[in-house]
Structure 1
Amino acid sequence: MTDNAARPRLIIEFETERLRMRQWRESDLAPFFALACDPQVMEFLLPLATRADSDAMVERIRTRIAGNGWGFWAVEHKACGEFMGFTGLNSPLADLPFSPCVEIGWRFARKWWGQGFASEAARGALQVGFEKLGLAKIVAFTAWNNTRSAAVMERIGMKEDVAGAFDHPLVPDGHPLRRHRLYRIQR
């Protein structure tokens, strides 16, 4: 599954009990940058150095959703309408040892942690991946010591592929976040 800019697709958006997964809006840019500046949120991720870097990331995500119909959706709290972060599915551009693949991922502002939102959104994304997109399997990966994300992966039914641990090619040699653990789930 690749980007298809020549033929726009219907954008998949969906809801769970408490959340709305949708295409990104201009109003999401500032709260996403605030999330990207939080050292605890970014503890296991490479930093987005500037607002321009953050906005460029959102534009890449938005373009992929427009082309594929799916991707890393913006997550909105249904009750208050507030932007919370993102979750969704992605075909990584990096040449990973298990490519080609579709990954599931998430990133939430710290104020939403510990309330089950990441797991709820991820379960919804898995359902879209398996039921609407017909995927046979989905992977997830995170820095070796990111126990919070690993716990979400396990809560949504993913199993760690211990033999699949790898050095992420986009993380510099010698960087403490280079080693990653791999999780998988099948339909």
Structure 2
Amino acid sequence: MTEIRTPRLILRRWYDDDLAPMADINADPQVMHWIDDGSVRDLDDTAEAIERWEEEWDEEGFGLFAVELLASGEVAGFAGLSVPDFLPEVLPAVAISWRLGSQFWGQGYASEAAHATLEFALQDRGLDRVISVNRVGNDASENVVRKLGMEPERETAHPVHGFPLRVHAIDLTEFHA
């Protein structure tokens, strides 16, 4: 089983018990504001998403990790790698993403998890480039992207919802783990 430990987090594959806490995160309008059309997701939507994330692990050899706090064992959300199929213009590409419950914001967890994910991409999966696709105006995600050393590559629009997106990229040969 793939697992990454950081000073405060465990990034790991999904357990059945992770469904309820992740569904709570997906049901929070504050969390979902920047995701797709901003709609919250229910338990069934979250179960389907986790199933897709696990399938991507099996198909691609990477995916979205459950992010667990070492100190408490709480599931704080996810971080990991995926193929951004929704945005064909950037393909072929692997994107890094994260989503944490609002109670975990502002504590550096997203940056810590994202940094560990980039190390995983470079050292364990041999990827040479990773992108990030963020909605323009999501300053918190932009801040994480900057901390990772990712550079703006292009601006585009979401193909379904039309809002502006910013694509950042990092050449992992230049990433400082």
Same fold (TM over 0.5): yes
1:71 to 56, 63, 67: 63
Opposite residue 90 of structure 1, the aligned amino acid is: S
Q: Which residue of 1 aligns with 2:161?
A: 172
Task: Give the share of equivalent positions with the same residue, in percent.
Answer: 34
3-state secondary structure, aligned to 2:54: helix
Partner residue of 2:32 out of 29, 39, 42 = 42
For 2:111, the equivalent position in structure 1 comes to: 119
Aligned to 2:73: 81
Structure 2: 5+ residue stretches without partners: 173-177
User: In structure 1, what is the equivalent of residue 101 of structure 2?
Assistant: 109
Answering whether residue 6 of structure 2 is matched by residue 16 of structure 1, we say yes
- List per-residue Cα deviations over 1:86-132 (Å, max 9, x = no partner): 00111122243121100000000011111100000000000010111
Task: State the secondary structure of the residue aligned to 1:41.
Answer: helix
Indicate the SS of the match to 1:114.
coil
Instruction: Please give the residue correspondences for 1:108-147 in structure 2 after superposition, counting only pairs within 5 Å.
Output: 108-147=100-139
Aligned partner letter, 1:184: A
3-state SS in 2 of match to 1:152: helix
Give the TM-score normalised by structure 1: 0.86
Deviation at 1:41, TM superposition (A): 0.6
Q: Given that residues 31 and 100 in structure 2 are in contact (C-alpha distance below 8 angstroms), is that contact kept between their aligned partners in structure 1?
A: yes
Q: Does 1:184 align with 2:169?
A: yes
Between Structure 1 and Structure 2, how many residues are aligned? 170
Partner Cα distance (1:28, 1:12) in 2: 16
Letter in 1 for 2:23: F
Measured after TM superposition, the shift of residue 27 of structure 1 is 0.8
Give the deviation of 1:172 after TM superposition.
2.6
Offset at residue 52 of structure 1 (A): 1.1
Please list the CA deviations of residues 27-49 of structure 1 after superposition, one character each: whole Å capped at 9, or x if unmatched.
Answer: 11111111011111111113244
Which consecutive residues of structure 1, in runs of 5 or more, have no partner in the other structure?
1-10
Provide the residue aligned with 2:82 in structure 1.
90
Deviation at 1:67?
3.3
Q: Deviations over 1:54-104 (max 9, x none)?
A: 110111111212333321100001111111100011112224312110000
Retained in 2: the 8 A contact 1:97–1:166? Answer: no
Supply the AA of the counterpart residue of 1:181: R
For residues 138 and 111 of structure 1, the distance between their equivalents in structure 2, rounded to whole angstroms, comes to: 28
* Structure 1 vs Structure 2 CA RMSD: 1.3
Residue type matched to 2:168 in 1? Y
Judge conservation of contact 1:33–1:51 (CA < 8 Å) in 2.
yes
TM-score, length-normalised on structure 2? Answer: 0.90
CA distance in 1, matches of 2:124, 2:145: 21
Q: Is the 8 A contact 1:96 1:168 kept in 2?
A: no
Letter in 2 for 1:168: H
